[in-house]
Amino acid sequence: MKKFKVLGGGCRNCEVTANAITQAAKEAGVEIELEKVTDMAEILGFGVMSTPGVVLDGKVVHAGSIPGPDQVRDWVLG
């Protein structure tokens, strides 16, 4: 099971990112675990300075914007 973390303060872009990951996993029939991280100390601990950030299995894979649909599908399927 892939473990995703969406890093951000709960802004609209963070919600859109979390929803895109959830939807891509649902469409692909892939089971994931998704956690929303809003604690700034934890976010900075990942080295992310601009949100939303995406962590996949402990590694930062995106930061600073809403990821595109193809990128999200690649994470889910990869």
Domain ranges of the chain: 2-77
Distance, CA of 72 to CA of 15 (rounded, Å): 14
- pLDDT, tens digit (0-9, with 9 covering 90-100), for 25-63: 999 999 999 999 999 999 999 999 999 999 999 999 999
51 close to 65: Cβ distance less than 8 angstroms: no
- pTM here? 0.96
Pick the CATH number of 2-77 from 3.40.30.10, 3.10.20.310, 3.40.50.300, 3.40.630.30: 3.40.30.10
Helices (H), the chain: 12-28, 40-45, 69-77
Q: Which of 6, 7, 14, 48 is catalytic?
A: 14
Distance, CA of 65 to CA of 78 (rounded, Å): 21
Q: Which of 10, 11, 35, 39 is catalytic?
A: 11
- pLDDT, tens digit (0-9, with 9 covering 90-100), for 66-77: 999 999 999 999
CB neighbourhood size of 30 (10 A): 14
Is 11 catalytic? The answer is: yes
